[in-house]
Amino acid sequence: MMGLDTADRMCYEQAKAMGLAPNYRAFISSHKQDLVHVVYPGFRETLPVTNLRGDVMFRNWRSIFSGDGAPINARIPIYSFDGRDVLADPFWPQKSIWHGSSSRGLRDVDKHCETWRADHMSVMGLSSSLTSGLLLGQQTRSCSNQYIVLCIETHKNP
């Protein structure tokens, strides 16, 4: 994956390329940041979490981290920036995401693919199979897997 900074930059650049506000970051924890803190403090309670078409997935950012694995509604698609449904499109053969976090959004210091830079069999990261219905499932997987990295809008511009 080339590290958190690269993942964040890719989210930023892809959003900007699609004409969206470049307020997106990668939905992953790292050695220096818990996932629960990715969204700006003033928006954690007030900004609903939606897909790119505006369908509400979670009432707010905090509600994702209640400890229940963040159940997702299978009827609400998760879209890529170019409008493809990641669960239906064959471009993503493995319907799993990397997150590196506990169900409460805290980083797991031993399971983030060596700060999202390793891609070999012996290094592990925390992931979730989207087909399980959980955004923060707790599957430990080899970092050699090419899973999805979601992007999250961190704030709204005034």
CA distance 102 to 136: 7
Q: For residue 56, which amino acid is it?
A: V
| Tokens matching residue 38 | 């990715």
Cβ–Cβ under 8 Å, residues 53 and 79: yes
| Tokens matching residue 9 | 């930059």
CA distance 137 to 82: 26
Which pLDDT belongs to residue 48? 94
Q: What is the mean pLDDT of residues 115-134?
A: 92
For the stretch 56-84, what's the b/e string if a residue is b when 16 or more beta carbons lie within 10 angstroms of its beta carbon? ebbeebeebbeeebbebeeeebbbbbeee
Average pLDDT, the chain: 94
| Tokens matching residue 29 | 């924890």
Q: Map out the domains of the chain with their CATH numbers.
A: 4-153 (3.10.100.10)
Beta bridge partner(s), residue 40: none
Q: What is the mean pLDDT of residues 87-97?
A: 97
Cβ–Cβ under 8 Å, residues 39 and 152: yes
Q: Is the dihedral of CA 123, 68, 11, 106 positive or negative?
A: negative
Residues 52-84 have pLDDT tens digits of 999 999 999 999 999 999 999 999 999 999 999
pLDDT at residue 1 tops 80: no
pLDDT category of residue 32 using cuts at 50, 70 and 90 = confident
Residues 93-119 have pLDDT tens digits of 999 999 999 999 999 989 999 889 888
pLDDT at residue 23 tops 90: yes
